[in-house]
Amino acid sequence: MATSSERSPPPFPDSEDQDVLEEVGGRDSDEEDDEVDDLFMSTSNPPLTKMDTTLTPASHPSDVLMKPPSDIMDDPIIEPVGSQAEIKPTSEFVSEPSDDFVDLTNNITDSPEAQRAAIDTTEIPLDEPSDEFVDIFGGESEAQREEVVVVADVTVEAAAGRSEVTSDVKDPPDDRKTGSDDEQEAKETSTDSIIDLSDDLPASETPQPAPASNTFVDPLVDFLSDAPPAADAKIRSRATVDLFEDEGNDLFTEPRQTKSAKQLQKSLFGERDEDLFGEPLGAASKKPVSRDLKSKPVTTKAASDVSDTGGPLQDSDPADIFSEEAVTTVPSIKKTSTVNSKTNGVHSEEETDIFAEATVELSLDSPRDERMKDVTIKPSASAPAVSAAASLAKPQSASLEELDEEEEEEQEDKFEIVISVKDPEKIGDGMNAYMAYKVTTQTSLPMFRNKTFTVRRRFSDFLGLYEKLSEKHGPNGFIVPPPPEKSILGMTKMKVGKDDSSSADFVERRRAALERYLQRVVNHPSLLQDPDVREFLEREELPRAVSTQALSGAGFLKMINKATDAVSKMTIKMNESDVWFEEKLQEVESADQQFRKLHAMVESLVVHRKELSLNTASFAKSTAMLGSAEDNTALSRALSQLAEVEDKMEQLHQEQATNDTFSFAELIADYIRLLGAVRGSFDHRMKAWQRWQDAQTVLQKKRETEAKLLWANKPDKLQLAKEEIAEWEVKVTQYERDFDRVSATVRKEVSRFDKEKARNFKREIINYLECLLHSQQQLIKYWDAFLPEAKAIA
Amino acid sequence: MMEEVNEVTSSLSVHGHNIKVTEVLKDGDTLTFLVVSQKLSGTGEYHVDRTYDDFEWLQQHLFSQEDVPGIQGVIFPSLPAKAQVNASAKAMKQLGFLGLGEWLPYCKALESFLRQIVAHSILGKNKAVEILLTSSDPPGRQRVKKNIFNRLSQAVEERRKEGHKDVDEFFQSERVRNLVLTGCAKTAAERFLDVVQSEQKIAVACGHFSASLHLCVEPGEDPDKQAFSKVCVKLSEVFDSMKKNMTSVAENNMNTLGLGLDMESRCQEAEKEMLFRRTCKLVELETARRNAEKAKPLKKAAMEEEKKAAETEFDHICGVAKQEVARFKAARVEMLQQALVQWCEKQLLTAKETADQFNQHLQAFRGMA
């Protein structure tokens, strides 16, 4: 127990480690590409793509190609500034920047595509787009910053502040408003606009027109994130180099200026639509492009999520909320300007965040090949997915404002994730056979890359997941939902290949139990963040779980019992400082007994129901025989009708038995297991206490030795003793803190458990009653149909 | 006493159709049934206490009306097997439905036994019926000797004569049909009894579950705990109404179709007995005929006499039996129809009530915060 506690000073030690690993060291274990590489790639990518697309529209292949990549790669901050200077004077260069736009556009449009692709294929591509965004934004914002530094110091501060205040939702809108106000000014003075830029991305966009007229490169860089798709769309719709060049200029210069002036208060996207599409673009190209525009933020969010979730536990609160917000706001952008402004605020935060990451990794080299491929993919592909995301996220926007206060609540309630375990399938033959299940996850959570995904898992994988989770989170006082036990009898039957009703029943029961188990795991806000859980749900192939044998069947139950025995023994020793725990433990014990009793009763009820169903069936048979033996035709007819009615009733009874089983017997069995887990968490708390006490005893002893040494006057040893005392004092405080933390967690977990329990039972009961009512109505129907038959005899 | 009874041929002084066996009293090991019948004259009622022995006495008297021609062709209403207070499992099994529900079905069975007798054109005239229904002295306390209808002797003879080829096509086919129906009715009644018993078990299990749900109620101010307690209490109510539903479903089954099937089964049995008696007589007659043919001249006259007597008796029996079979068929169809209709109506009512209750519970749960 000592080892486990030592590892865990912060609340989520393992996950944190993971986090750090993923962020810094890359995800070599999980994903093939390092994140660092990705990020880096993305930074370098924009230029790369430039190369690609520039080739077609603009005829500056060599120059453009060579320059931007190298620049950006080396130092994105410097690059924009430099290009800015270049672009200003010459009109030739206008085409160049526009080319850049195109490329960047492609990039950006790519990323949605790439993401889209990622949805279909694997995780690796997913990282890329997100990283791209990160980079782009990073680059951008850096560029902005650079400018800002040049122009005004104040803005830099603001930007910095913003990056830190990521979790604050209310600020962004305000900023946005001010930003929009600023925008008006921005037209006139580029410095102001820059301030806006640093504040919000959208803000930065609107000011850009002003700079655009001045032929600033920086704004263009900004546009990379937003405007490029527009440019891209144009290119597609008209497909001419000239148009692109001209209109590109127009686009950025004229419309922007005028319209941004008029519609300052409007949302970023709204403006865009009107500006870019309303005027310069063909009607046909509007829709996809606008979607792309929308998709961008989504993807960026996704990107940020990905990066966040990599180490979810560490900075879960700000990062998560932030990401959620971001998602929420995306759909709302279309609707209201206020929400929009919020989004923008969030946006900017994100950027800064990402930007911070990006800066670290800017100096790395990038594989360019992948980028090239991405360019070819169409952006419109991403549209449906994005819109779906938007619709899913809509409800969340309502709760945006409460986010601050009720982070935790919100998180809990918002976790919309539904897991279904289906299609149990026997794989293999003989004693090596096992059952595999399809695990399908449906979620609106941004932390997952797809909305739905399915993996195939065998039973021992479920057990393996539990082992990992309980090892990681158990010592911290979390209640880790236990999976159904291994059943030697049931499995042997399966292996032998008996296809009777009892083995079908077994499979169905287990399938449902696994489903509930997984659902419980993902409903737990902390467990959901665990990388193992996500891996379990998402990853195609899992390493084979070993040593789950220890968990099998009765052994597992015994283990729990042993643990509880140990706990009860320890309670005697432990003088409980907290009455709450004492009471709660007793409650848990009695609840356990009651549940066991209830379970036995429901089981017997189910047995009777099955018996009734069997008896009804045989009665139906004998009625049919009686009917056939009867020579009074009306009576005979009625009797055979009756036989049919009884057959149907047998079905009803059968269903009722199943209903009883799954609504109550299994639910209660789940709770018996869960109560075991609850006691396990008490056990872990006890262990933490024990460790603390032990440490205290040791400290006491050390002090005594010190006193003795003092008495014996042995200064050389005294020094050593003092050091030891200091060491143990630290340990004692550490352990005490651990204990307090575990206690707090257990308390929280138990109250969550209680809440869940009441909710769970209520839901099940409602389901149950619905079934019951339905079968009664069915019964009424049968009787109604039979009554005239009976009356017709005579 | 027997003579007394037989001498009086006047009809009953009570209404036959609303004879009731209203109550059963447990007095030590014996069950006493309260038989109530309405007087034909005026508005008064006869209330008499009768034990099973009294009913048995009545049945014996009816069996032994030797002066009535063709009495053996009568399908006697069947008296249910003797009910005992602490009956063995085997005895209870023999009783079937009648052993359920605190003897209520048994009373019903006795009631219909009496009504059938009273309604019967031959049996209703017997004075013993009047005595059983109206006399304040219990008539059956002294033992009556077992007569020719002793079931034991029947069982021995049965094997030998059951398969005897009949001379009359009608009776031959009736015997075949009866044999099949007897078996079917018996199985159906048994299966249905199983169903009812399962239902009763379910009712009990629901009751237990409902009761122990109350134990899950936890004291305390904690809102979550209170919520759970509330759920438990409510669920307990749900299971209580499920229990009530099951109980009444089982009762309906028992009191309508259950009794009907039981009655059908016993009636078929009674018809079988009658047919068997007739077959016995047939065999007797055939023997007499053979004897008369083979008889030596000295005994010939006596044999012929005997043959004649047997022939007349057999004719009588056949005549009565034909009427009885026709009457019986109509009666049992009507009885079964009534049972089915009542059963269906009652179950429909119960199902509707239960659906209402469930719906209320469901709304209550949905309304719960």
Q: Kindly write down the DSSP assignment for every residue of A308-324, as one continuous string.
A: HHHSTTTTHHHHHHHHH
* B368 in Cβ contact with A762 (< 8 Å): yes
pLDDT at A613: 92
Instruction: Kindly give the pairing relationship between strand B45-51 and strand A417-427.
Output: unpaired
Q: Find the closest chain B residue to A621 by CA distance.
A: B188
Is residue B356 within 8 angstroms of chain A, CB to CB? Answer: no
> Do B190 and B223 fall into the same domain?
yes
Are residue B38 and residue B180 in the same domain, yes or no? no
* pLDDT above 60 for A304: no
Amino acid residing at A359: T
CB B38 within 8 A of CB B45: yes
- Please indicate, yes or no, whether residues B124 and B243 belong to a single structural domain of this protein: no
* Chain A contact for B366 (CB, 8 A cutoff): yes
Q: Do A612 and B195 touch (CB under 8 A)?
A: yes
Q: Which range (A251-265, A592-606, B11-25, B134-148) has the least confidence?
A: A251-265
List all residues 6 or more positions away from A744 whose beta carbon is below 8 Å from its beta carbon.
Answer: A477
* Whether residues B108 and B237 fall in one domain: no
Residue B11's CATH number? 3.30.1520.10
Q: What is the pLDDT of chain A when averaged over all its residues?
A: 59
Q: Which residue has the higher pLDDT, A563 or A337?
A: A563
Of A468-482, A647-661, B346-360, the least confident: A468-482
**Model confidence pLDDT, tens digit, residues B55-92:** 888 888 787 777 777 777 888 888 888 777 776 777 77
pLDDT score of A614: 92
Give contacts of A 609-648 with B, CB under 8 A: 609, 611-612, 615-616, 618-619, 621-623, 625-626, 629-632, 634-635, 638, 642
What is the pLDDT at residue A249? Answer: 40
Q: Which domain covers residue B233, as residue numbers? A: 154-168+176-369
Q: Nearest C-alpha of chain B: how many angstroms from A417?
A: 23
CA separation for the pair A453, B144 (Å, rounded):
86
Q: How high is the pLDDT of residue A151?
A: 38
User: pLDDT tens, A462-512?
Assistant: 888 888 888 887 777 788 888 887 776 666 666 666 566 677 778 888 888
Report the CATH number that the domain containing residue B201 is assigned in CATH: 1.20.1270.60
Q: Does B185 touch chain A (CB under 8 A)?
A: yes
User: Can you give the pLDDT at residue A568?
Assistant: 53
**Do B30 and B135 belong to one domain?**
yes
Q: How many residues does chain B have?
A: 369
Residues B9 and B117 in one domain: yes
Q: What are phi and psi of A89, to 5 degrees?
A: -70, -45
B214 at A interface, C-beta within 8 A: no
For residue A279, pLDDT over 90 is answered with: no
Task: Residue B27: count other Cβ atoms within 10 Å of its Cβ.
Answer: 10
Q: CA A112 to CA A126: how far, in whole Å?
A: 9
**Interchain proximity A754–B225, CB inside 8 Å:** yes
The pLDDT score that the predictor gives to residue A686 is: 83
Whether this model's pTM surpasses 0.80: no
Q: What is the mean pLDDT of residues A149-167?
A: 39
> In this structure, are B137 and B226 located in the same domain?
no
Q: How many domains does chain B have?
A: 2
Least confidently predicted of A155-169, A718-732, B266-280: A155-169
Are residue B100 and residue B2 in the same domain, yes or no? yes
CB A466 within 8 A of CB A486: no
Q: Which amino acid is at A83?
A: S
Per-residue pLDDT tens for A371-410? 444 333 334 333 343 343 344 333 333 333 333 333 344 3
The two counts, helices (H) then strands (E), for chain B are: 10, 3
Query: What is the mean pLDDT of the segment spanning A420-447?
Result: 78
Q: What's the whole-number mean pLDDT along residues A151-159?
A: 39
- pLDDT tier at A65, thresholds 50, 70, 90: very low
Looking at the structure, tell me whether residues B311 and B210 fall in a common domain.
Answer: yes
Span A235-264, mean pLDDT?
A: 39
B329 part of contact set with chain A, CB < 8 Å: yes
Q: Alpha helices of A152-226 — where are they, by DSSP H?
A: 153-164, 171-188, 190-199, 201-205, 209-214, 217-225
Q: Do B333 and A632 touch (CB under 8 A)?
A: yes
Best mutation site among B173, B334, B337 for testing chain A: the one with the most A CBs within 10 Å?
B337
Find out whether B270 and B77 touch, Cβ atoms under 8 Å: yes
pLDDT value at residue A566: 56
Torsions phi, psi for B48 (to 5 deg): -130, 145
Confidence tier at A794 by pLDDT (50, 70, 90)? low
Asked if B201 and B146 sit in the same domain, the reply is no
- What is residue A500's predicted lDDT score, i.e. its pLDDT? 65
- Alpha carbon distance A220, B135 (integer Å): 119
| Residue of chain A minimizing CA distance to B174 | A631
Question: B208 and B131, same structural domain?
Answer: no
The mean per-residue pLDDT over the stretch A545-564 comes to 51
Nearest C-alpha neighbor of A298 from the set A383, A221, A357, A398: A383
Q: What is the pLDDT of residue A322?
A: 39
Distance (Å) from the C-alpha of residue B83 to the closest C-alpha of chain A?
26
The secondary structure of A361-382 as a DSSP string is HTTS----HHHHHHHHS-GGGH
Above 50 in pLDDT, residue A77? no
**Residue A179 in this model has a pLDDT that exceeds 60:** no
Q: Which residue has the higher pLDDT, A211 or B259?
A: B259
- In whole angstroms, give the CA distance from residue B95 to residue A583: 55
Report how far residue A653's alpha carbon sits from residue A614's, in angstroms, rounded to the nearest whole number: 9
Taking every pair of C-alpha atoms in chain A, what is the biggest distance, in angstroms?
Answer: 118
What's the pLDDT score for residue A343? 37
Dihedral sign computed on CA atoms, order A601, A604, A608, A613: positive
Confidence of residue B274 (pLDDT cuts 50, 70, 90): confident
A556-564: which pairs have CB atoms within 8 A and are 24 or more residues apart? Answer: A556/A482, A556/A485, A556/A486, A557/A485, A557/A676, A560/A676, A560/A679, A560/A680, A563/A679, A563/A680, A563/A683, A564/A676, A564/A679, A564/A683
Q: Are residues B234 and B291 in the same domain?
A: yes
**Closest-CA residue in chain A for B236?**
A765
Contacts of B212 in chain A (CB under 8 A): 594, 597-598, 601
Between the ranges A54-58, A535-539, B310-314, where is the mean pLDDT highest? B310-314
Determine the residue of chain B that is closest to A633 in CA distance: B333
Average pLDDT of the residues in B240-262: 89
Q: Does A579 touch chain B (CB under 8 A)?
A: no
Closest chain B C-alpha to A336 CA, distance in angstroms: 33
